[in-house]
Amino acid sequence: MHPKFFSFNVPEFLQGYLPKSLTIHFYGFLIAIGAILAFIYMAKEAKKQYGLKFDDANTLFILLLIASIVGGKIFFFFESPDYYLSNPKQLFSGGGFVFYGSLIFTIPTMYLFFKSHNLPWGGMLDIMAISTCIVHALGRMGCFMAGCCHGLPYEGSFSVTFTDSASLAQPLNTPLHPTQLYSVTLIVLILIMLLRIKKRKLFDGQMFISYLILYASGRVVIEIFRGDLKRGFIIGDYVSHSQFISFIIICITVYIYYRLYMKSAKKV
């Protein structure tokens, strides 16, 4: 809706090192708030359940931050490699991240960290499932404010119209599907379901695997209404990159869930 949160003038003694004024954007602000809340939850639960020290939790947070930025940018680059090879500065601008890239890079980072610190990977991943939902939901709200990840033209009662010239939504002044809010709703519903699963968990890792299955399934549907076509398609104009990745994630995670569920059932 309105990408810019607020602007302020930089004190004179810093103007030789910084621009005269700085602008705080809603996207970055909401991502930062989400990351802080996610870290607080992760650190508290990991200490409570597995005795993870605060310094180690802080290290994990930094590693995941680096992995998510690298993965998000790499996948963003492959949306239009020719363009970004010709315009590398655009790749390293403030925006431009692909969630699946961040997710795929953070999973092995978490696994290696848990293994090196002798932490149960399944139990820790369940904690991270909640943390991921927190930062992801606020990140999608940031997308809504920035206008990115917008939907197709839509004249229905739930449509939104972006009018700010700084918005990334295209076209402006046209009712669109609020796909960002669809994603927020999906993630909040997943979060509620995970909290219910937490009370009667059958096996470690169930929450994280459930998160992947539920989000990937919902993402397949939401992609149908997406209007930012630059994300690209794998098959004609029918299967987008994100849908293709979602299908792969669903197949893998459903298989893993089945194996772990059957293994836990034998123990009963």
- How many Å apart are CA 100 and CA 211, to the nearest integer? 13
- How many Å apart are CA 39 and CA 52, to the nearest integer? 13
- How many Å apart are CA 88 and CA 263, to the nearest integer? 49
**Region 52-71 average pLDDT:** 92
Per the domain annotation, does 99 fall within a domain?
yes
- How many Å apart are CA 137 and CA 228, to the nearest integer? 19
Least reliable range by pLDDT among 96-105, 144-153, 161-170, 253-262: 96-105
- How many Å apart are CA 134 and CA 139, to the nearest integer? 9
Per the domain annotation, does 16 fall within a domain?
no
Domain that includes residue 253, residue range: 4-8+21-267
- How many Å apart are CA 38 and CA 99, to the nearest integer? 16
Q: Write down the H helix ranges in the chain.
A: 26-50, 54-77, 81-86, 88-91, 99-116, 121-146, 179-199, 206-222, 241-267
Per the domain annotation, does 101 fall within a domain?
yes
HEC letters along 231-261: HCEEECCCEEHHHHHHHHHHHHHHHHHHHHH
3-state secondary structure of 151: strand
Residue 148, pLDDT score: 85
Pairwise pLDDT comparison (19 vs 190), residue with the higher score: 190
> What percentage of the chain reaches a pLDDT higher than 90?
54
Per the domain annotation, does 216 fall within a domain?
yes
Per the domain annotation, does 144 fall within a domain?
yes
User: What single DSSP character describes residue 117?
Assistant: T
Per the domain annotation, does 15 fall within a domain?
no
- How many Å apart are CA 144 and CA 176, to the nearest integer? 12
* DSSP code string of 3-33: -EEEEEEPPGGGTTTS-SEEEEEHHHHHHHH
> Is residue 268 predicted with pLDDT exceeding 60?
no
Residue 188, pLDDT score: 97
Per the domain annotation, does 14 fall within a domain?
no
pLDDT band at 209 (very low <50, low <70, confident <90, very high): very high
Least reliable range by pLDDT among 78-92, 101-115, 204-218: 78-92
Residue 165, pLDDT score: 83
Number of domains in the chain: 1
> What is the residue type of 110?
M
**Region 47-63 average pLDDT:** 93
Rounded to a whole number, what is the distance in angstroms from the first to the last CA of the chain? 52
pLDDT digits (tens, 9 = 90+) for 141-185: 998 988 888 899 999 888 999 998 888 888 889 999 999 999 999
Residue 98, pLDDT score: 78
Residue 225, pLDDT score: 93
Residue 101, pLDDT score: 85
Residue 90, pLDDT score: 60
Residue 232, pLDDT score: 67
Per the domain annotation, does 64 fall within a domain?
yes
**Region 46-73 average pLDDT:** 91
Question: Which tokens sit at 38?
Answer: 């996610």
Residue 191, pLDDT score: 97
Residue 231, pLDDT score: 64
Residue 170, pLDDT score: 84
